[in-house]
Amino acid sequence: MAAPDARDVVPDPEAASEPWPIPRTGDRVDLHAHTTVSDGTLAPRELVQHAADLGLTALAVTDHDHVGGIPMAQRAGNQLGVEVIPGIEFSAEHGDLHFHMLGFLFDPDDAALGHAISEVQRYRADRNPRIIAKLNELGIDVTMEEVEARASGGLVGRPHMARVLVDKGAAASVQEAFDVYLGEGGEAYLPKKRIPAEEAIALLHGAGGVAVMAHPITVEAHRLPDLLPALLELGLDGLEVVHSKHGPAERARFAALAAEHNLVPTGGSDFHGSNKPGVDLATGVEGNVDVRYATLDALRERATRYR
């Protein structure tokens, strides 16, 4: 008897994250998107619904420092025919350089990874009230409760503080709130916990996944030629060549670097819903993002090294 076509199989909405033969509706994927679990404005299910509406074949949910949205997104994906890939975005450091590290295709229930995530979250829980205290010292009347109310139950962070500052008229825009108060160099700035790149990469590999340097445009261009070989030595697997912040010149430069260092070139929009207006799922800013399923095949092939 022939195997049933995936379309004939009725998905069980309550089945968690079993591999599911997803009918391929097209070839477009997005490998970088945030939900309300971190600083996006769509809940995991809403994000997957949006991906389905756009006809995406696969979507990686890459919340900052959190894997809590993945099971919900996978349940929705099973129902809607979108393959949901486990992802995460860590704030990492190597020497004096700070950058973001994406992880894909790991086991979200891995114990060591879970432990590291709890450490980062504990640090964040401690940092938030200290930022609020700094704002209060600057004469801004804002409370932790008001900020939490802005966070839809997920991770609380600076984007939520920025919105409260705008609501209260203490800043004209979210951007101004970051420039004047919350961002690096701002009057109430406190850094967040960064994971050494070595540790981030080892954690992801230990959980059966791959490590990809996110939006390399955020690292000073002249530092990348030294940073990449160092990260490669630590086991880096990929480079996010396509991203909503990358113009054609960056895209070409990062594609060349990825090829030179045998890194898997990946891509995604970095969609945050209305927290990053103008950045659309799958297409980025004015169509500067376009990622194909073959990218995912290449990451999967790479991940076989760590299984």
* Residues contributing to the site for Zn ion (CB under 5 A): 89, 270
Residues 184-203 that bind ligand AMP (CB under 6 A): 192
Total binding residues toward Fe ion, as defined by CB under 5 A: 3
Q: Which is nearer to ligand AMP, 98 or 192 (CB)?
A: 192
DSSP class per residue in 214-227: --GGGS-GGGHHHH
Residue nearest to Fe ion (CB): 100
Residues 100-139 that bind Fe ion (CB under 5 A): 100
Cα–chain-centroid distance for residue 259? 23
Pick out residues in 14-53 that bind ligand AMP (CB under 6 A). 39
Q: How far is the CB of 64 from Fe ion (least distance, A)?
A: 5
Binding site partner of 174, from ligand AMP, Fe ion, Zn ion, none, Cβ cut-off 5-8 A by kind: ligand AMP
Of 253, 258, 254, 251, the residue nearest 284 (C-alpha): 251
Could you give the string, one character per residue 191-230, with x where binding to Fe ion holds by CB under 5 A and - elsewhere? -----------------------x----------------
For residue 159, give the H/E element and its range.
helix 158-167
- Site mask, Fe ion, residues 24-53, x = CB under 5 A? ---------------x--------------
Q: Which two tokens mark 282?
A: 């799958």
Long-range contacts of 179-188 (CB under 8 A, 24+ apart): 181/135, 181/138, 181/140, 182/131, 182/158, 183/158, 187/134, 187/138, 188/131, 188/134, 188/135, 188/138
DSSP state of 193: P
Helix axes 44-53, 70-80, angle to 10 degrees: 30
Considering only the stretches 76-84, 115-123, 157-165, 289-297, report the one whose residues sit in contact with ligand AMP under the rule CB under 6 A: 157-165
Query: In the beta sheet, which residues pair with residue 103?
Result: 88, 211
Minimum Å gap between C-beta 228 and ligand AMP is: 23
The residue whose two tokens read 């949006």 is: 50
Nearer to Zn ion, 20 or 215 (CB): 215
Both structure tokens of 77: 């994906």
Which residues are 291's β-sheet partners? 29
Tell me if 269 sits within 8 A of 30, measured CB to CB: yes
Q: Which of 11, 183, 206, 208 binds ligand AMP (CB under 6 A)?
A: 183
Q: Tell me the C-alpha distance between 146 and 156, whole Å.
A: 11
Q: Which is nearer to ligand AMP, 192 or 245 (CB)?
A: 192
Nearer to Zn ion, 81 or 86 (CB): 86
- Residues in the site for Fe ion, rule: CB under 5 A? 39, 100, 214
- Residues in the site for ligand AMP, rule: CB under 6 A? 39, 64, 157-159, 174-175, 178, 183, 192, 272
